[in-house]
Amino acid sequence: MQPSPLALPCNAVDTLGIHRIAPQDVAYAGELGYRIKHLGVARQTESGMELRVHPTLIPERRLLANVDGVRNAILVMGDAVGPTLYYGAGAGGSPTASGVVADLIDLARDIDAGQSNRIAPLGHSLDALRELPVVPMQQVETPWYLRMEAEDKPGVLSRIATLLSDQGISIEALIQKAPLEGQTRVPVVVLTNRAAQSRVDVAVQAIEALATICGEITRIRVETLDG
C-alpha cells in the first residue's frame, strides 16, 4: 500500500522521551515556579511549522501544567478567542477506544461525502499544510532549563555566564545550592532567555568542556504558553 500523499512523514516530528528527567529536575522546576510535562507542540511560525514532542517546563499557574494522572489536555491558541483548553480522560481502554472510534467515524463520513480534504489543522487545507516547511529543531527558539554539576570554586558561575553570553544567551534565573559538609561539587540550575537550539548546543559544549563541570548538562525546553 502506498502512503497517502497528504501525510507528513513520521520523522518530520522531532521526539524526545523522559528518560533523562531526574527527580531533582522536578524539584528545581518547582522552585522556579514551573512543572515538567511531556508536550506535543504544533505551531505555525513565519519560518514554517514547528512539530515536536519533548519534556517541557510550563509555568505552574497555567491550566495545562495542572493536568495530572491519566488525563490529557489540548491547548489551542485562536486568533480571536485566545487560548482554549480541551481536557479529559486520555488513557485506559475505554477512553482510548472512544477517541479512536470517533476519529474513524469522522474520516468515514468525510470520505463518503467526498470531502476527505475538508478538515485540516491550523486553518489550512491538508494540501497546503503538507507544503509548509517544517522548522529544523536547531532553529526552534525557546527558553531553556540547564542543570549541571560544578566544582565549588570561585569564578565558576561567571565563566558559565560568559560562555552563554558569547552565544547571545542571557540568564533569567539561577539556583546554586550551598555544598554540604565534605562536598566539593554542587548542582547549578540555569534558566535562560529564548535561544535557538543551535546556539544552546555551542554554549553547552563549551561549558561541558570546562574542568570545573562534571558530566553532561541536562537540557529541557521551556514553554511560557503566552502565544
Residue labelled with grid coordinates 480571536: 80
Percentages helix, strand, coil for the chain (3-state, rounded to 5) are 30, 35, 35
State the pLDDT confidence band at 194, using cuts at 50, 70 and 90. Answer: very high
Measured distance CA(176)–CA(22) in Å, rounded: 17
- For the cut 90, the answer to whether the pLDDT of residue 225 exceeds it is no
Domains of the chain with bracketed CATH: 10-136 (3.30.360.10), 138-222 (3.30.70.260)
pLDDT at 95: 80
Read off the pLDDT of each residue in 135-163 and give the average, rounded to a whole number. 95
Residue 99, pLDDT score: 79
CB atoms within 10 A of CB 79: 6
* Average pLDDT, integer, range 113-135: 63
* Kind plus residue range of the DSSP H or E element containing 56: strand 48-59
pLDDT in tens, 64-106: 999 988 888 999 888 888 888 888 887 777 888 887 888 889 8
pLDDT given at position 78 = 84
Please work out, in degrees rounded to the nearest 5, the angle formed at the alpha carbon of residue 27 by the alpha carbons of 148 and 42.
Answer: 85
Q: Which residue has the cell 517544517?
A: 134
Give the pLDDT confidence score for residue 129 in this predicted structure: 59
What pLDDT score was predicted for residue 53? 96
Residue 58, CA distances (Å) to 35, 68, 87, 142, 155 in order? 5, 13, 17, 12, 31
pTM of the model: 0.82
Cβ(54)–Cβ(16) under 8 Å? yes
- The predicted-structure confidence for 102-116, as pLDDT tens digits, reads as follows 888 988 887 877 765
